Structure 1
Amino acid sequence: MKYYLPAFLFVFLMVCFPDPAQAQHIDSKTNPPNIVIIFADDMGYGDVRALNPLSRIETPALDRMVAEGISFTNAHASASVCTPSRFGLLTGEYAFRTPEAARGIGGFTPPVWGTNRISMATMLQNAGYRTGIAGKWHLGLDWLTRDGKPAVLDAESGHSNVDYSQPVQVGPNDFGFDYSFIHPASLDIPPYVFLENHRILDPEVILTTDVYPRRREDTEFSWDKKHSNDQAVYWDKGVWWRQGEMSPSFRVEDCLDEITAQGLAFIERQSAETPFFLYMPLTGPHTPWLPSEEHKGKSGAGVYGDFVMDIDQVVAKVKEQLRRQGLLENTLLIFSSDNGAYWPEEEILLYGHDSNRGVRGQKGDVWDGGHRVPLLISWPKGIKEKATYPGLVSLTDLFATFADLLDQEIPEGAAVDSYSFLRVLQGDTGFVSRTEMVHHSSSGMYAIRTPEWKFIDGLGSGGFTYPGRLEPEKGGRGGQLYRIGEDPMEKDNLYADYPRVVEQLKAQLEEIKNP
């Protein structure tokens, strides 16, 4: 026997108890949320205590984000190093589609993308948002030079031909940001200057070694010395930066605090009348590991772990600023990292801390340790209950998710590798937004994964873990194939056992790379 609700009762229930996904979608258009992305540099999934009970680092602010929102257990950066990962986040595209963006770059490299490209910030501008960036750019700048030639650093002297008295000709403000306060690249790469809206602050530069000695009396070289030459400042494992020009007022140890202060100041200038987007790409915990006095010696993972505690504090400060202004309730707060941690086996054994928790490899690698990242999203007004999402997500997907949230149409040809997971934010943790993903290592080794398989088109890590690349033996395996769900450590190479799967995935990878 079937039972039918009277029409008036049905209408009453629909009005009083609307479908949560539909209600959320309507609300996000009439009262769009502020969006803040805090983007750590070289921080591992396993550093967050709530994601890894064995973490030797206390992360109370990030743990609170996990408790209040959605944590993604299978989220990946689009590449395993800085520049291509940041490009993917802001454009919704794999960086290999733009060759200039597909590799690591220095501080004097020109922009890796054209000003005609639609970025996430541009899309949000078009939706009525005020947009700002405070932090590490690392996507190239168009510097003016004293000799009219392309900007270049002389590695021996540490000097460049840049005219710091002139604004850069192309920078973040040309890619959708109303306001920008940036450091050009990583904090171990010159020049060591801040730029506000394309103008260099304190442009009368000196050399880093005018302020910092190259060595200290207690300096001992470690595994990371290979990344710096004899002209670089190298004090200890993780505590080093390359020789180069620096503003007289710039201090490497204060960079994270200055970026945080500028991000908080941007929030302070906002109000509930106009939605805003703030992108905060932090310079830590990337080298140099320079934790605050407050956190020195406080973690169980050495100086790196102490520095991660500073990153956690940035999250706490941002939330408190939003709360003071009455903006927290309707702010979509996202925390992630540009790639996995640079945390080799030596450090895991030394501290008993697995920064990339339970997966193989580290930053730079095509193995999951290179690109699996923490992704935490909270939004008090829109996400009411704690949830965990196990589905496949790329950081490129934030672009389409925001567009979907705000009912913005993505122009044809833009954000082609971005898939909306808005339904996950609306509570549907069974939703599948994508069924495959391409991974890209620091040396240009590629992989493709599906829910069951991960195929790597080459041998070795493709990155920083030894061996980076191996030539196949005659008649031997030419690549790697793993049942990734059952074998997250990528130990059992089934390449020779499933030739048809290899053939199929290789063809699928090539089709995505060369459509």
Structure 2
Amino acid sequence: MKRKLSTGLLGYLILSVWMHSSLFAQSKKRKPAPNIIILFCDDMGYGDVGVYGHPTIKTPNIDRMSQEGMKFTSFYTGSPACTASRYSLLTGRYPVMSGFGWVLYPKSERGIHPKEHTLAEALKEKGYTTAMFGKWHLGSTKKEYLPRQNGFDEYVGLPYSNDMLPPKWPDIPLLQGNDTLELNPDQTKLTELYTQKAIEFIRNHKQDPFFIYLPYAMPHVPLHPGKKFAGKSRRGTYGDVVEEVDWSVGQILETLRKNGLDKNTLVWFTSDNGPWLIKGADGGSAGLLRDGKGSTWEGGMRVPSVAWWPGQIEEQSVNGELTSTIDLYPTLLSLVGGTVPTDRLMDGKDIAAYLFPKKNRNVTTKPFFYYGFNQTIFAVRKGPWKLHIRTHSQLKVDYFNKELPLLFNLEEDPSEKYNLAKQHPEIVNELLKEIEAQQQRVAGNPDFYTLSAH
């Protein structure tokens, strides 16, 4: 009897040790959730970065990001204007779903609707500590519109654009959380301030999964380079502020390296829209792309974009697939084991397979719709083909003398010079059907402001 009991006890102990070892091995294999940082420039054009071909602006840190990660060559922002673009980034939805115009002002009655589920809120649900340092521009007249009420644990920054100043507008506040730190702050110090806040946050939360959203005020006019950068660039003041942004990128990446976080942090660098060309030398460059900010030509919405995650994203990789800021929401959630909301129209797609092509995952391709200044569709892209059904330019240029529709093969003609609509009527009809289908989807899914009014 004792012998049988001892044998049974021994078997139980062996089984317990095996189960514990197995669970321990599984826990070791399970990778921790990656930290996530989004670096979001304001009005930086496709051609304003060294790795995208600018001949004189020096951006060694962004260039190094590209060398160590993935450069996107067909990456779009959700809108060619500030507010609408930021809405799309943080919600994964086209700006037509916002319920407000494409630019909010200090006295605008609306802001991001409380029922929107921001990327920050979604990541908090997965255990992330979240912070935002920089330009918000999604509403400021009510407390419920501000970052702290929309998923961010910490916030320091301007609530709207740095050009909305007295005497035309009220004093612009520099906010910390919901409180005003100071009015009309010295803008030459903002890029450094946001950078230092991000560095402090990284150091304070290196044991936890964190999300940092850093939307720079630069290179939006008025241009305010820090003292260390003023007059240093061969491209004038515009180049000065871009080179300071590049310095900021370098500081953040170096902080990750020094704290042993670089192998577990995904950093994504991009811009909210194309360059503000009507500002002349104070505006940027779209490179070989036509037009800029405010337009649905390529220069208004195709922007520089680099993803960096050492050891995960293949070095020196280039991706030319159709991608957008609206894709970041579902992509980042998929990386942390989250899911996108199912109770609303979601527009972005999961592009994680582009970041990690060796894992043999597929991307569900979708057409991309270019929404213009009145939240209507101006153009659509599917594969290499782009169809314009209406056009607009802040430069007041009618490039094709009222000729519509316009069809371009962007792989062969990224500058949109050669209208192929007459040669390919079948493609024109196919893309017109895509626009009609999108309009029907939106009509069947009203924005939250419309829903709350009924």
Output the TM-score relative to the length of structure 2: 0.83
Where structure 1 has 5 or more consecutive residues not aligned to the other structure, the ranges are 1-25, 144-167, 203-245
Where structure 2 has 5 or more consecutive residues not aligned to the other structure, the ranges are 1-26, 166-170, 442-454
Q: Which residue of 2 aligns with 1:137?
A: 136
Asked whether 1:489 is paired with 2:415, we answer yes
Supply the distance in 2 between the matched residues of 1:450 and 1:312 (Cα, whole angstroms): 33
The amino acid of 1:324's aligned partner reads: K
Supply the distance in 1 between the matched residues of 2:219 and 2:317 (Cα, whole angstroms): 27
Supply the distance in 2 between the matched residues of 1:107 and 1:264 (Cα, whole angstroms): 29
Q: Which residue of 2 aligns with 1:103?
A: 102
Give 1:385 shift: 2.7
* Aligned residue-pair number: 408
Q: Which residue of 1 aligns with 2:7?
A: none
**CA spacing shift, 1:119–1:344, aligned 2, 3 Å:** same
Ranges of 4+ aligned residues in structure 1 off by more than 4 Å: 26-29, 344-348, 428-433, 468-472
The percent of aligned pairs where both chains have the same amino acid is: 31
Q: Which residue of 1 aligns with 2:157?
A: 182
Kept in 2: contact 1:383–1:427 (CA 8 A): no
Q: Which moved more, 1:125-134 or 1:292-301?
A: 292-301
1:267-321 superposed Cα distances (whole Å, 9 cap, x missing partner): 222122x100000011001111122233333323221111110110110111122
The amino acid of 1:478's aligned partner reads: L
Asked whether 1:199 is paired with 2:179, we answer yes
**CA spacing shift, 1:68–1:254, aligned 2, 3 Å:** same
The amino acid of 2:44's aligned partner reads: M
Supply the distance in 2 between the matched residues of 1:471 and 1:413 (Cα, whole angstroms): 43
Supply the distance in 2 between the matched residues of 1:49 and 1:93 (Cα, whole angstroms): 30
Asked whether 1:58 is paired with 2:33, we answer no
Supply the distance in 2 between the matched residues of 1:105 and 1:170 (Cα, whole angstroms): 12
Asked whether 1:265 is paired with 2:220, we answer no
The amino acid of 1:452's aligned partner reads: P
Q: Which residue of 2 aligns with 1:128?
A: 127
Give 1:195 shift: 1.3
1:77-115 superposed Cα distances (whole Å, 9 cap, x missing partner): 011111111100000000112231x41111232443221
Give 1:497 shift: 4.2
Give 1:367 shift: 0.4
- Name the SS of the counterpart of 2:51 in structure 1: coil
Kept in 2: contact 1:75–1:375 (CA 8 A): yes
Kept in 1: contact 2:290–2:298 (CA 8 A): yes
Q: 2:148 aligns with which of 166, 173, 176?
A: 173
Supply the distance in 2 between the matched residues of 1:29 and 1:110 (Cα, whole angstroms): 46
- Name the SS of the counterpart of 1:332 in structure 2: strand
Q: Which residue of 1 aligns with 2:387?
A: 455
Give 1:189 shift: 1.1
Asked whether 1:310 is paired with 2:244, we answer yes
Q: Which residue of 1 aligns with 2:367?
A: 436
The amino acid of 1:42's aligned partner reads: D
Give 1:45 shift: 2.0
Q: Which residue of 1 aligns with 2:187?
A: 252
Give 1:469 shift: 9.8
Supply the distance in 2 between the matched residues of 1:371 and 1:391 (Cα, whole angstroms): 15
Supply the distance in 1 between the matched residues of 2:28 and 2:78 (Cα, whole angstroms): 30
**CA spacing shift, 1:354–1:410, aligned 2, 3 Å:** closer
The amino acid of 1:446's aligned partner reads: F
Give 1:443 shift: 5.0
The amino acid of 2:320's aligned partner reads: P
Supply the distance in 1 between the matched residues of 2:320 and 2:340 (Cα, whole angstroms): 26
Asked whether 1:427 is paired with 2:361, we answer no
More helix by share: 2
Supply the distance in 2 between the matched residues of 1:140 and 1:481 (Cα, whole angstroms): 36
Within 5 Å, which residues of 2 pair with 1:467-478? 467=397, 472=402, 477-478=403-404
Give 1:199 shift: 1.3
Kept in 2: contact 1:28–1:406 (CA 8 A): no
**CA spacing shift, 1:269–1:28, aligned 2, 3 Å:** farther
The amino acid of 2:276's aligned partner reads: Y
Asked whether 1:394 is paired with 2:324, we answer yes
Supply the distance in 2 between the matched residues of 1:484 and 1:125 (Cα, whole angstroms): 39
Supply the distance in 2 between the matched residues of 1:471 and 1:357 (Cα, whole angstroms): 23
- Name the SS of the counterpart of 2:47 in structure 1: helix
Q: Which residue of 1 aligns with 2:11?
A: none
Output the TM-score relative to the length of structure 1: 0.74
Supply the distance in 2 between the matched residues of 1:432 and 1:344 (Cα, whole angstroms): 37
Supply the distance in 1 between the matched residues of 2:336 and 2:393 (Cα, whole angstroms): 38
The amino acid of 1:188's aligned partner reads: D
Asked whether 1:297 is paired with 2:231, we answer yes
Give 1:488 shift: 1.2
Give 1:499 shift: 3.7
Q: Which moved more, 1:499-508 or 1:32-41?
A: 499-508
